[in-house]
Amino acid sequence: MEKEESSQQKNKIKDPDKKSKNGKPETTLEPEISNVSNDSKKKELTSEDKIKDLEDKLVRAYAEIENQRRRFEKEREDAFDYGGFSFAKEALNLVDNLERSKVSLENDENLKNTEALKKTINHLEIINKDMISILKKNNIEEIKSINQKLDPNFHQAMMEIEDDTKESGTIVQEIQKGFMIKDRLLRPSLVAVSKKPSNKNEDQDQDKDKKDQQNQQKNEKN
């Protein structure tokens, strides 16, 4: 009994703010503090779990390194294959200017049927062939256009030309040559495509029918 009373007295503290009826401080019970530590609540990792965690981290690190290596290889190959892409695109202006010069000279009335014109045209053709040959050696080739079906991946239609001998959408004129650098488009071909001739009589009849319908609608309203 004496032991139980002594333990109860230990759990009692004096609260100076609280007073009993006789004016003395009232004692309250102190809550018991749990001695259970947080560490005991956590389950400790075993050696096998730690090894599995390390293996998982190693696999992910290796995968990231492998992805970086592949990206580097792809960038290196692109730099080697297409590093001169911008230069090649600018160099095509020389080919265009040679073609324009040739056409301009051929259309000059003062030079037609002269020996000077023939020699000049021959020299321009030689230079043009050399330019095309140099481009081919660097994997830059012309896109086939004439008599080909229009392909938006390689051709850009600039106009339509009536031609009843060709299927609609067939390229009948090349305005500007297109080129590929390996499997990549350097610039599209600017072309004109064929379309079936329109029947003027049918168009006139359709216009007449439309006008008749419009006049009839106006009369009904009136």
Could you tell me which residues come within 8 angstroms of residue 172 by beta carbon, excluding any fewer than 6 positions away? 146, 147, 161, 163, 166, 192, 193, 194
CB atoms within 10 A of CB 204: 10
Does one domain contain both 104 and 153?
no
Q: Classify residue 212: in a domain, yes or no.
A: no
Q: Classify residue 153: in a domain, yes or no.
A: yes
Query: What sign does the dihedral 200-201-203-207 (CA atoms) show?
Result: positive
Does one domain contain both 145 and 163?
yes
Q: What is the pLDDT of residues 109-147, one digit of tens each?
A: 888 888 888 999 999 999 999 999 988 988 899 999 999
What's the CATH code of the domain at 185?
2.30.22.10
Does one domain contain both 124 and 168?
no
Cβ(178)–Cβ(190) under 8 Å? yes
Does one domain contain both 146 and 186?
yes
Q: Classify residue 99: in a domain, yes or no.
A: yes
Does one domain contain both 154 and 113?
no
Find where tokens 């998982």 sit.
56
Q: Classify residue 167: in a domain, yes or no.
A: yes
Does one domain contain both 149 and 191?
yes
Q: Classify residue 182: in a domain, yes or no.
A: yes
- State the DSSP string of 1-20: -HHHHHHHHHTEEEEEEEE-
Does one domain contain both 153 and 128?
no
Q: Classify residue 54: in a domain, yes or no.
A: yes
Expressed as residue numbers, the domain containing 170 is 139-197
Overall domain count for the chain? 3
Does one domain contain both 117 and 145?
no
Q: Could you read off the pLDDT tens digit of each residue along the chain, which spans 222 residues? A: 444 445 444 444 444 555 555 555 555 544 444 444 555 444 567 888 888 888 888 888 888 888 888 887 777 766 666 667 788 888 898 889 998 899 899 888 888 888 888 999 999 999 999 999 988 988 899 999 999 999 999 999 999 999 888 888 999 999 999 999 888 899 999 999 999 887 655 555 566 666 666 666 666 655
Q: Classify residue 24: in a domain, yes or no.
A: no
Cα–Cα distance, 181 to 83 (Å, whole number):
11
Q: Classify residue 187: in a domain, yes or no.
A: yes
Does one domain contain both 144 and 131?
no
Q: What is the pLDDT of residue 211?
A: 67
174-189 in b/e form (b: 16+ CB < 10 A) is bebbbbbbeeeebbbb
Does one domain contain both 122 and 146?
no
Residue 73, burial from CB neighbour count under 10 angstroms (0-12, 13-18, 19+): exposed
CB atoms within 10 A of CB 193: 22
